[in-house]
Chain A
């Protein structure tokens, strides 16, 4: 027998059981910044964030747009009584507004509607899903985290999810990067080449909002400017568990 096979067997199972069993690394992940209390907003507070993620909600209390958060932690260090980290890797949202925390109460009904629409659209995908990834101007770290899903710790294949080379075979489009002018057309062509039903996932803060790079002349403010996005994954970059969480939402296996 090949020495490689023996070596692989000797190691035993290293694969996570998530989502069927809780995973310690996923639940202890330090997610984007959050503002747990109802603190009145001030210029001093909004000026802390280099990415412009801190703003005022309709009631003039602090809101954090996790889709803009680059996880630098400056707000948590400067004002720990106002800001904190969100816990856990399950950070994906079905709407762009859903990434603004604390969430407004009235969006619940709207969210249920979005969820039902996505579930109806993806009902046929459930147990066998093919994913196409496109880099639309990332810093290269999102690709590392997406590719990590194939290592034996996450083992994407156990969930019936596979990467495919051809957009013609793809159900899910994973897009990373802020959306550069150069990638706008190749991205649209890839999307157009996919059969219906299709799901688009924006992976990472850059893809969600453009992050620190948002805006003309060279880049768009996230890929939402180019494609209809179904699932938004914040993080700079998001860890593999966050991307996996989004893929399972896309296939209707998690809510």
Chain B
């Protein structure tokens, strides 16, 4: 951590951020921590091989600091969040509305002839609570505001003063659909602090569960897209494939979301289904899913709804550092499994990635089909590897240790980052940054020319978790 940090240091790390991003690093997050002497701003930059963290202290008594957003637009939501949680005003921020605190209706309406449709927080269907304010002249959606605060649960505060072992339980509940990825990112941070190595078998089991989670999450998006297009049989079939995968995961570990598997230092248990039984089940599911995916991608009435819908331009994806399938669909791929590999990904073959540049809902679905294929392949490699490794410990002692480190993992939605500090065996700070939080601002800007009936397609193709974004 920085010793002699002052407000000048804030602009110094902003200079550094701008320079690094210019040179190819990706802005990966801005987090704030209250501590003796003021508020510590922590800037994270992702680059091949790791994540670099730069700190600057805003001293107590100071209520403002120069905003980063005018120089790096991706910082916009991060600074809004810090303003809400710490009352620090980023001077020069172009759009400082509250994000995690309630704010008054209505915000500005762009022009004459427009009206606002408040969509949420209680929406039709079984959805997470979020409110979209759609500004529309009737059909098109020229402007969209997102109101996130309804689901803010204050998880990071709950982490403090818990042991790392208990912290995993909260990490898993930060973003339910990415339970394994959050547990992994959190544990990677804890393991980096303690300097402990994960046993080979555990590293493979981690990959197994992370990739099964990816399969389930991507199938859920196929279900939602098919449902939006009114394809009843496709919806039913992808729904039943997803159910079979969830049941497989629950037979392996007792939880349909892979909870309780990842612990600091390794994993808690051997999968209860393994070997030939497991591979046979995976093979059967892969054949069924691939065949249905092929049919879906040949259904013209479905493709018509996705092609050209909700396009994210490649330069915006790059500028913002769009994560996961959303970035990949717009030609910007920074997959943590390749660029900052962890656990068994260092040894497994992820395979070649096709490049996609269209950036529309169709491209995002195509990226997910590619990832689905890779996931099946990785699962098979990991399962074979597990047989070869044989018996051995599944977790090594991890700690007690003190310090601070970042951890990351590639969730189905994109990279999750944890910034964890441990003092005296207890968590003294823990920030999580889900891909959903980083990608959600992009959702508001892809509606160029799209109309109200495109909304469910664009929302499903983004596949974001509100729980992970609002925390």
List the interface of chain A (C-beta within 8 A of B): 2-5, 7-8, 11, 14, 25, 29-30, 50, 70-73, 133-148, 150-154, 163, 165, 167, 177-178, 180, 182-183, 186-187, 190, 206, 211-213, 217-219, 236-237, 239
A residues less than 8 Å from B247 (CB atoms)? 25
Give 4 A-B pairs besides A29-B250, A183-B151 with Cβ atoms closer than 8 angstroms. Answer: A133-B126, A135-B151, A148-B246, A237-B256
Q: What residues of B have a CB within 8 angstroms of the CB of A25 in the complex? A: 247
Bin chain B's interface residue count. Answer: 35 or more
| Cβ 8 A contact of B126, one of A29, A147, A177, A219 | A147
Residue of A134, A136, A137, A146 with most partner-chain B CB within 10 A: A137
**Cβ contacts B252-287/A at 8 Å (1 or 0 each):** 001111011000000010000000000000000000
Q: Given the complex of chains A and B, what is the CA–CA distance between A239 and B250 in angstroms? A: 10
Q: A25-B247, A140-B466 are in contact. Are A134 and B233 (CB under 8 A)?
A: no
Interface: B153 (CB within 8 A): yes
Q: Which of B214-239 contact A (CB under 8 A)?
A: 220, 223, 231, 233-234, 236-237, 239
**Interface-centre pick from B175, B176, B299 (highest chain A CB count, 10 A):** B176
- Give every chain A residue within 8 A of B122 (Cβ-Cβ): 134, 167, 186-187, 190
Chain A residues in 8 Å Cβ range of B240:
11, 14, 151-153
Q: Is the CB of B129 within 8 A of A144?
A: no
- In Å, the complex CA distance between A14 and B250 comes to 19
- 23 A-B pairs with CB atoms under 8 Å apart are A25-B247, A29-B250, A30-B254, A70-B173, A71-B259, A72-B259, A134-B122, A137-B153, A151-B236, A151-B239, A151-B240, A152-B239, A153-B243, A177-B129, A177-B151, A180-B152, A182-B102, A183-B129, A190-B122, A212-B170, A217-B154, A218-B152, A236-B259
* Complex contacts, A187 vs chain B, CB 8 Å: 122
CB of B169 within 8 A of chain A?
Answer: yes
B94-144 at interface with A (beta carbon < 8 Å): 102, 121-122, 124-129
CB < 8 Å: which of A137, A143, A151, A239 contacts B127? A143
Q: A70-B169, A151-B242, A182-B149 are in contact. Are A165 and B468 (CB under 8 A)?
A: no
Q: Is B197 an interface residue (CB 8 A)?
A: no
Distance in Å from the Cβ of A45 to the closest Cβ of chain B? 17
Given contacts A183-B121, A218-B154, contact A211 B173 (CB under 8 A): yes
A143 touches B239 (CB 8 A): no
B220 close to A144 (CB less than 8 A): yes
Residues of A within 8 A of B174 (CB): 139
Q: Total A-B residue pairs with C-beta atoms closer than 8 Å?
A: 157
Residues of chain B within 8 A of A11, CB atoms compared? 237, 240
* A150 to chain B: closest residue by CB: B239
CB within 8 Å of A: which residues of B? Answer: 102, 121-122, 124-129, 149-155, 157-158, 162, 165-166, 169-170, 173-177, 179, 220, 223, 231, 233-234, 236-237, 239-240, 242-243, 246-247, 250, 254-257, 259-260, 268, 292, 295, 299, 465-468
State A180–B102 Cα separation when bound (angstroms). Answer: 12
Chain B residues, Cβ within 8 Å of A50: 162, 165-166, 169
The 7 closest A-B pairs by CB, nearest first: A141-B176, A151-B239, A165-B124, A218-B154, A139-B176, A182-B150, A140-B176
Given the complex, which residues of A lie within 8 Å of B151, measured CB to CB?
Answer: 135, 137-138, 177, 180, 182-183
| Interchain CB contact (< 8 A) of A180 among B153, B162, B231, B236 | B153
A142 contacts B149, CB within 8 Å?
A: no
Q: Which residues of B contact A7 (CB under 8 A)?
A: 233, 237, 292, 295
CB of B129 to closest CB in A, whole Å: 4
- Cα–Cα, bound, A211→B435 (Å): 25
Q: How far is the CA of A212 from the CA of B127 in the complex (A)?
A: 22
Contact A8 B237 (CB under 8 A): yes
List of B residues within 8 angstroms of A219 by Cβ: 153-154
Whether B126 contacts A146 by the Cβ 8 Å rule is yes
- Nearest Cβ in chain A — how far from B440, in angstroms? 14
Which of B154, B173, B237 has its CB near the most chain A CB atoms (within 10 A)? B173
* Contact residues in A for B234 (Cβ distance below 8 Å): 4
- Chain A residues in 8 Å Cβ range of B124: 165
**A71→B255 contact, CB < 8 A:** yes
Between B154, B157, B158, B292, the greatest number of chain A beta carbons within 10 A of the residue's beta carbon is seen for B154
| Closest A residue, CB atoms, query B467 | A140
Closest to B288 in A: A11
A226 to B61, CA, bound (A): 38
**For the complex, what is the distance from the CA of A151 to the CA of B242, rounded to whole Å?**
9
Partner pick for B129 among A134, A141, A212, CB 8 A cutoff? A134
Pick from A73, A136, A138, A148: contact of B243, CB under 8 Å: A148
In the complex the two chains form, what is the Cα distance from A52 to B175 in whole Å?
22
Q: Shortest distance in angstroms between A156's beta carbon and chain B's nearest beta carbon?
A: 11
8 Å CB contact of A4 from B149, B170, B233, B243 = B233
The CA of A30 and the CA of B240, in the complex, are separated in Å by 21
Q: How far is the CA of A160 from the CA of B277 in the complex (A)?
A: 37
- Complex: how many Å from CA A21 to CA B247? 19
Chain B residues whose C-beta falls within 8 Å of the C-beta of A190 in the assembled complex: 122
